[in-house]
Amino acid sequence: MIIENNIKWGAALSIGRTIFICLVLTIAAMLFSSTTNNLVINPIESMIRKVKKIAKNPLEAAQEEENQALAKERIIKEENKKNKNSKKKNKEAPYETVILENTIVKIGALLAIGFGEAGSEIIAKNMEKSGEVDPMLPGKK
């Protein structure tokens, strides 16, 4: 009888341990997935949206991104003014995805400035098709 009870308790503890390990692994997978979405997938999707916006109309995209950058700078300046009162400063280096996103915006702005309105239309037409450059597209005077 005692041996049977020990076997039953051992089996119950093994089942409990298995369930606990499954719960821990499930929670860890959810946390990893959330972090991956926030740090990798969402920024890449944002970059793709910006490239598509630049492909449609480089001038408009450059102006819109410039306005957003100015708004971010104002917010940062206001936060810095508030943080001057507190001695604790939290300066973190931006993630690589943020740097890449800003680079894409700058490239779009340079395209718009360098080629002007007519060049922007030609670039937009080239990028609309398949992303490949067709040098034989007719220009405008």
Answer whether residue 31 is part of any domain: yes
Answer whether residue 137 is part of any domain: no
Answer whether residue 89 is part of any domain: no
DSSP structural state of residue 38: I
pLDDT per position as a tens digit, 10-38: 999 999 999 999 999 999 999 999 999 98
Answer whether residue 36 is part of any domain: yes
Across 2-6, 31-35, 42-46, 124-128, the highest mean pLDDT is recorded for 31-35
| Amino acid 68: pLDDT | 79
pLDDT averaged over every residue in the chain: 80
Give CA separation, 61 vs 17, 77, 106, 114, 128, in Å.
55, 24, 11, 14, 15
Which of 138 and 86 is assigned the larger pLDDT? 138
Answer whether residue 140 is part of any domain: no
Answer whether residue 14 is part of any domain: yes
Answer whether residue 30 is part of any domain: yes
DSSP structural state of residue 37: I
- Looking at the 3D structure of the chain, how many domains does it have? 1
- Contacts for 90-97: CB closer than 8 Å, 24+ residues apart: 95/39, 95/43, 97/39, 97/40, 97/43, 97/44, 97/47
- Residue 39: phi and psi, rounded to 5, are -95, -20
**Three-class SS string for 91-110?**
CCCCCHHHHHHHHHHHHHHH
Between helices 42-56 and 96-129, what is the axis angle to 10°? 40
In this structure, the number of other CB atoms found within 10 A of the CB of residue 62 comes to 22
Flag whether the pTM goes above 0.95. no
Answer whether residue 59 is part of any domain: yes
- 10 Å CB burial of residue 59 (0-12, 13-18, 19+) is buried
Structural domain span for residue 122: 2-83+94-129
